[in-house]
Amino acid sequence: MTSNYPVERTAVITGAGSPRGIGAAVARRLAAHGWAVGLFDRDGEQLAARAEELRSSGARVVPAEVDVTDPDQVDAGATAVEAVLPPVLAVVNVAGISDPTKFVDTDLARWNRVMTVNATGTFLVMKRFTPGMVGRGVGRIVNLSSTAAQTGGGTYSATAYAASKSAIEGLTHGAALELAPTGVTVNVVSPAVIDTDIMGGRITDDRRPFFVAGLPVGRLGTVDEVAAAIEFLVGPDAGYITGAHFNVNGGARIG
C-alpha cells in the first residue's frame, strides 16, 4: 500500500475520444471510482461527447484536444488539466495508430508517422507530467503496448506498428528503472485482440471467428478487461510494481 497515495487525484488518459476504445473505458472506470479525469484526443467532436458522458454521471472532467506528437499541444492540454483538477497522479497512454503495411512496402514517411504517434507521443506525455509526480513523491504511468511487439504484427498491425510498440516497452522499462527511487511507477499493458474498432473497423459476427481462432480462451477481450488491469496499476496497491509487463491477451502469448 502506498502511504502517500492522495484522496484527491487526477488521471490523464490519451486516446480517450473513441466511444468503444480502451481510453474511454479507462476514463469511465476511473471516473466511476472517484478520479478526476483529463481526456486527450485529436478528435474534438468525440472528445466533447466523452466529456459530456462522464459529466452526466457526476465526474470531474477536463477535455483537451491534443495531438500527442506536438509538444506544444501536449503542454497546453496538461496546463488546462492542472489549472482545474487535482494534482495528476496517473497518466495512461492509450493514443496510437495501427498500420497494416508490410515491411517491404513501408516508406520512411509511413514509418515516421507510426513511430511518432505511438512511441514519441507516449514519450512526450510522460515527459510533461513526470516532474510533477516526482515532486510530489508519487505517480503512476501506464503505457499501452500490444502483443504485436512480441509476435511481429498481425493482419492489421505490421512491422512499423510492432516496432513502435516495442519502443514503448523499452521506454517503459528504462523510465521505470530511473524513476523507481522517486515513488513513480511505470508499467506496460499489452492487449491482444480486443473488441474495438481499430482492427479494420468493428469486429462483426462474420469476422469474429478469424480473430478468435488464435486466442486459447476462445473469445475476444473487452475494453473493460484492459481497463480493469490499468485501474489496478494506477491504484494504491501497485506501489511495489514497476517496470512490469502485463499481458491481457487471452493466452495468445504465454510467459
Q: Report the CATH number that the domain containing residue 105 is assigned in CATH.
A: 3.40.50.720
Tell me, what's the pLDDT at 221? Answer: 81
| pLDDT < 50 stretches in the chain | none
Q: 3 lies in a domain? A: no
Burial of 124 (0-12, 13-18, 19+ CB in 10 A): buried
Supply the DSSP string of 216-235, one letter for each residue.
TTSS-B-HHHHHHHHHHHTS
| DSSP one-letter code for 194 | B
**Which residues sit opposite 187 in a β-bridge?**
142
Looking at residue 133, its pLDDT comes to 99
- What pLDDT is attached to residue 172? 99
Q: Find, among 162, 20, 185, 21, the residue nearest to 95 by Cα.
A: 21
| Residue 194: strand pairing partners | 221
Cβ atoms of 190 and 147 within 8 Å: the answer is yes
**Total structural domains within the chain:** 1
Answer whether 231's CB lies under 8 Å from 90's CB. Answer: no
Which residues are CB-neighbours of 75 under 8 A, at least 6 positions away?
A: 128
CB atoms within 10 A of CB 107: 9
Cβ atoms of 61 and 55 closer than 8 Å? yes
Using alpha carbons, select from 67, 117, 74, 124 the residue that is nearest to residue 97. 117
**Which residues are known catalytic residues?**
161
Considering only CA atoms, which of 166, 183, 167, 165 is closest in space to residue 94? 165
Give the per-residue pLDDT at 190: 94
> Does residue 75 lie in a domain region?
yes
Q: Which pLDDT belongs to residue 210?
A: 59
How high is the pLDDT of residue 250?
76
Amino acid sitting at position 154: G
* C-alpha cell read off for 79: 496546463
Q: What is the structure's pLDDT at 206?
A: 59
252: in domain: no
Model pLDDT, residue 197: 67
Q: Is residue 157 part of a domain?
A: yes
> What pLDDT is recorded for position 10?
99
Are the CB atoms for 190 and 233 separated by under 8 Å? no
Flag whether 2 is in a domain: no
Q: Does residue 108 sit within a domain?
A: yes
- Residue 107 lies inside a defined structural domain of this protein: yes
Instruction: Kindly tell me the sign of the dihedral angle through the C-alpha atoms of 10, 12, 17, 21.
Output: negative
41: cell is 484526443
Q: Which domain holds residue 101?
A: 10-247
What are the cell numbers at 58? 457526476
- Cβ pair 241, 46 in contact under 8 A: no
Instruction: List the beta bridge partners of residue 188.
Output: 143, 245
Domain assignment present for 255 = no
